[in-house]
Amino acid sequence: MSIEFDSTSLAATEEFLNRNYTTMRIGNDTSGPVRSTVVRERLGDVNLDRLDLGFDMSYDAEPLGRICLCEVETGWVEENYHDAGTDYFGSGEIAVLTPPDLPYSGVIHTARYRITMFDPADLTRVAEVEAGIPVELTGHRPVSVAAGRRLAATLAHLRQLVGDYNGQVPPLVAATATQFLAATVLDTFPNTASAELTATDRADAHPAALRRALAYMEGRVHDDIAVGDIAAAAYISVRALQLAFRRHLGTTPMAHLARLRLQGAHEQLTDGKGATVSAIATDWGFGHPGRFAALYRRHYGRSPAATLGDRPDPPDTAG
């Protein structure tokens, strides 16, 4: 369900922000009139917001409790960071707007910008860390220009998904996209997840553990599972799981899960039974038909439409 807000009232804008973000006080740092527009779309538990503020809005807010990514389209944003002072973001820049567990303040300087918010626990689900150890971002700017561009492309892909499904993204597609977002964020910003393999990790990356992991994945291929869930089922650490897959299969757990889902889609396409390519792709967690078709062709050497259309004629039952 989407949310739309359009107002020329500072009080109404503050009430909306309090209701949909967190408790905050805002002010108008200019002498001009207030104009604020907000549109929110949802991808599972991820909020994809576009804000257009026609005035300089100062804010002093309580913690969001969410990872908050900010992409500036026009204007500029001034954010006060507890550990890094004040930073400024202009057109074309992307950053973490605020740590999830700290109050925040700053000024939005007559800007049009996008905010993407998601649960910090999603970072831990996709990271190579032990269960119960939360992953935290340790910097608010991308580690490189290229990393920032990759994140921007990922966010554009998420917005396209919402549009492709008219706002009704199937749960497995939304869950897969959320994991992709979290993994991209970890690749984009400094964080606490990087660590070296231990001797125990190396010893645990044996075939028996791999078999337990594979059995778990094959039994839950339609479920929203992450690397931490697979490691727990195999009774090993996440890093040992990653090593086992690299050592014995030459891949990663999540890449193998995607391959299992692609195989399931292939079997359903081969069987047919009146389904469309788009419906089958969605059923197996592939949200973008074009990307699904390209992946399918790379693995099977033909398009999914060709497989679906190449069904044998029914047997002749005439006596």
Query: What's the Cα-to-Cα distance from 209 to each of 18, 86, 110, 224, 230, rounded to whole Å?
Result: 48, 48, 55, 21, 10
Query: What's the Cα-to-Cα distance from 207 to each of 91, 171, 216, 240, rounded to whole Å?
Result: 50, 32, 14, 11
Determine the Cα angle at 93 with ends 73 and 8, to 5°. 35
Contacts of 212 (CB under 8 A, 6+ apart): 233, 234, 235
Distance CA 51, CA 13 (A): 11
Q: Mean pLDDT across the stretch 91-97? A: 95
Alpha-carbon dihedral sign for residues 155, 159, 161, 167 = positive
Query: What's the Cα-to-Cα distance from 274 to each of 62, 114, 271, 308, 309, rounded to whole Å?
Result: 52, 40, 9, 9, 10
Is residue 198 scored above 90 in pLDDT? Answer: no
Neighbours of 198 (CB within 10 A): 12
Residue 314: its pLDDT value, please? Answer: 44
- Exposure string of 31-68, with b = 16+ CB inside 10 Å and e = fewer, is eeebebebebbbbbebbbbbbbbbbbbbbebeebebbb
Catalogue all structural domains in the chain, each as residue range(s) with its CATH number. 3-118 (2.60.120.10), 256-309 (1.10.10.60)
Helices (H) and strands (E) in the chain, counts: 12, 9
Residue 272: its pLDDT value, please? Answer: 76
- Show the beta-strand stretches assigned E in 33-93: 36-43, 46-53, 56-61, 67-81, 85-89
Considering the entire predicted model, what is its pTM? 0.76
Residues paired with 104 in a beta bridge: 61
Determine the Cα angle at 261 with ends 307 and 150, to 5°. 105
Question: What end-to-end distance do the CA atoms of the chain give, in Å?
Answer: 56
Is residue 317 scored above 50 in pLDDT? Answer: no
**Mean pLDDT, all residues of the chain:** 88
Residue 1: its pLDDT value, please? Answer: 62
Q: What is the separation of C-alpha 237 from the centre of its chain, rounded to a whole number of angstroms?
A: 23
pLDDT per residue over 223-240, tens digit each? 988 888 898 899 988 878
Is residue 264 scored above 50 in pLDDT? Answer: yes
Residue 271: its pLDDT value, please? Answer: 85
The answer to which of 1-5, 36-40, 46-50, 209-213 has the lowest mean pLDDT is 1-5
